Amino acid sequence: MSMFLIYDAENAEYLLQPAGYGILAVLLLALLAAILVPGGRKTPAGEAGSRKTKEMVFCAAAIALAMVSSTYLKLGSLPFGGSITLFSMLFVTLIGYFYGARTGIMAGMAYGILQLITGPYIYAPLQVLLDYPLAFGALGLSGLFRDRRHGLVTGYSVGVAGRYICHVISGYVFFAEYAPEGMNPLVYTLQYNLTYILPEMAATIVVLCVPAMARAIGQVKRQALE
């Protein structure tokens, strides 16, 4: 494992090595390439290729906006991972809302790997799966509600809830020892993860309920699917 990770005893965490970054880069590219693979209804080859190329462009733009938001519109960070940002989760959930859960989950996992590459918090190898690809991949569950009334708000809420559950499981399994003395570890991780997820979720839902914003996103969705 020393080729990919090395344990830093002083800080009680693992540090990525060059080979580890290389593996993550390959996984990131593989997920992005998988988005180009046609799925669902059969369409003529040329038309399918054109749609998938456009889909990739929208996915790349959404991931880029999410990265910019999470990096430069960060309102606060917590000591064991997690930060309050402005609308970074929305950009990822929009991918699922536009193109369905399959594409949304893959794009979310790619975003999670990108987050791991740029700002890793690795306290246990298996914790990485829960806190990065699985947690952010869950944001793509928004695609399950893409064709429903009020599907964006519902899908966003479900996607964020999925991310929250992944982080809670990770916190309970891997960070229970950091709970304050006398406090139930499950209660601690439930509260800890709410402190950064709930503010962003509440602010985003308020914005999405503004009619002008809902119409604007609907127009972008139509353009994305043309």
Residue 142 and residue 93 in contact, taking contact as beta carbons nearer than 8 Å: yes
- Mean pLDDT, residues 66-88: 77
Q: What's the number of CA atoms in the CB half-sphere (13 Å) around residue 17?
A: 9
Q: According to the model, what pLDDT value does residue 87 have?
A: 86
In the predicted structure, residue 42 carries a pLDDT above the cut 60: no
Neighbours of 128 (CB within 10 A): 22
In the predicted structure, residue 209 carries a pLDDT above the cut 80: yes
Which tokens go with 193? Answer: 């993860």
Q: What is the model's pTM?
A: 0.89
User: Rounded distance, CA 120 to CA 110, Å?
Assistant: 14
Residue 9's pLDDT band, with cuts at 50, 70 and 90, is: confident
Averaged pLDDT score across all residues of the chain: 88
CA distances from 64 to 23, 92, 133 (A): 21, 10, 16
Q: According to the model, what pLDDT value does residue 197 have?
A: 93
Q: 67: helix, coil or strand?
A: helix
Tens-digit pLDDT profile for residues 90-146: 999 999 999 999 999 999 999 999 999 998 888 887 899 999 999 999 999 999 999
Q: Name residue 113's amino acid.
A: I
Q: According to the model, what pLDDT value does residue 109 have?
A: 96
Residue 166 and residue 135 in contact, taking contact as beta carbons nearer than 8 Å: yes
In the predicted structure, residue 1 carries a pLDDT above the cut 80: no
In the predicted structure, residue 39 carries a pLDDT above the cut 90: no
Q: According to the model, what pLDDT value does residue 71 have?
A: 82
User: Rounded distance, CA 83 to CA 32, Å?
Assistant: 25
Q: According to the model, what pLDDT value does residue 63 have?
A: 94
Q: According to the model, what pLDDT value does residue 86 have?
A: 78
